[in-house]
A and B are shown apart, each in its own frame.
Chain A
Amino acid sequence: MNISKIANLKFFYIKTQKISFFLSIFTLVLFIIGIYWGLYIAPEDYLQGNSYRIMYVHVPAAWLSLQTYIIMAVTGFIALVWKIKIMEITSIQCAPIGAFFTIIALVTGMIWGKPTWGTYWVWDARLTSELILLFLYVGIIVLYSAFNDKRQAVKITSLLAIVGLINIPIIHYSVEWWNTLHQGPTVTKFDKPSAHITMLLPLLYMFIVFNIYFLTVIIKRVRLGIYMREKNNKWMEEYLND
């Protein structure tokens, strides 16, 4: 029974070495194109001028902060029920990536907020719930590092991740349920998006790039997680010595 699971980790670790290298270069190239598109080719906004361009980083980072959380909770759920090792590793390795996206979204939002709203920070529903998301990520990272038995730790962090899932719809709908200073959704509403097509395309492109970035980093982190768990095992020593 155990052999198939270890084989699975081994298979993943060996197969992804080259893939992860090529993905990194691919992501970098796509990212440079996206930044050039967003910062130079896309037109100025009629009201905000150039300062709106921060959305090409802010919006995808905010979306990915939610998406990463959902992935963390779902893989955590699978890990809890079926005890699949690679899912345990994937779930916990999502946390630092998600925290990174959340910090990017909060910081770029603050930089944009100062000239546009007149303040860096307000305690409205959108900003507060996004900050809670950061605390959830940090809580999961801290909780994980507090346990010596990492398989036990993942059980606890997965449960916390699943419970924290409640925050995701709150973040997304906060701008519609309550009066907030943060504006409503531009892209994900039922009628057509309220951004001009020349501004919308680079945004959607950046969203895809951020997704590929996520894929690159999660593969790298899962490999790291496998290494940390299996470094004393025979196959790992054999593989690394080759």
Chain B
Amino acid sequence: MIKITKRNKKSIIKILVFFFAIASFSTLLIYAFSKNMVYFYTPSQIVNQEAPVNTFIRVGGMVKNESVIRSKNNLKVSFIIHDTEKEINIIYEGILPDLFAEGQGVVMTGKLISDNNFLADEVLAKHDENYMPPEVADMMKNKNMDLYKK
């Protein structure tokens, strides 16, 4: 059916060499830029001072339960985000996305103003990969509650 002649072999080798040259080049490039390709830092990274200070960075984590404090007469809001290990305070003024809620994942753009206070310019909700009907979600919640009681 398909024969591999000497000429075919030559061109296959040429293509493969070209491919692997460019592949290894871009792998090294991506590896070198890996740190900059991180879309956001986690609270642990910030507490461990791995994130740059006084420049615009992004921070992502879960909103801590019962930590959201809203101002009564303007759009100012403050809350705590955590990644189950460390937590930092977020200060923000503006409209929050629909999916923003306690226990939800969020990503913020802004500046660190002190060791664990973050002034956010923008708050985005991060969605997880779970999809289920509301009845199933209720069932799972009840199950967790039962486990909690035991």
Contacts and interface: CB of A to CB of B under 8 A. Distances in A.
Interface of A: 43-48, 52, 55, 77, 80-82, 115-119, 122-125, 159, 162-163, 165-166, 170, 178-181, 183-186, 194-196, 198-199
Contacts of A186: 129-131
Chain B binding site: helix, strand, loop or mixed by DSSP?
mixed
Given A81-B8, A122-B124, A184-B129, A170 B38 contact: no
Contact of B19 (A123, A124, A163): A163
B39 A178 contact: yes
Contacts of A125: 37, 39
B125 A81 contact: no
A46 B60 CA distance: 23
A115 B126 contact: no
Interface of B: 2, 8, 11-12, 15, 18-19, 22-23, 26-27, 30, 34, 37-42, 60, 96-100, 107, 122-138
Nearest to B109: A122
11 contacts: A52-B131, A81-B15, A82-B8, A118-B124, A119-B122, A122-B39, A179-B41, A185-B129, A194-B130, A196-B133, A198-B133
Nearest to A187: B129
Nearest to B97: A118
B131 A179 contact: no
Interface centre among B8, B97, B127, B136 (most CB of A within 10 A): B127
B136 A46 contact: yes
B139 to A, nearest CB: 10
A163 B132 contact: no
Nearest to B23: A166
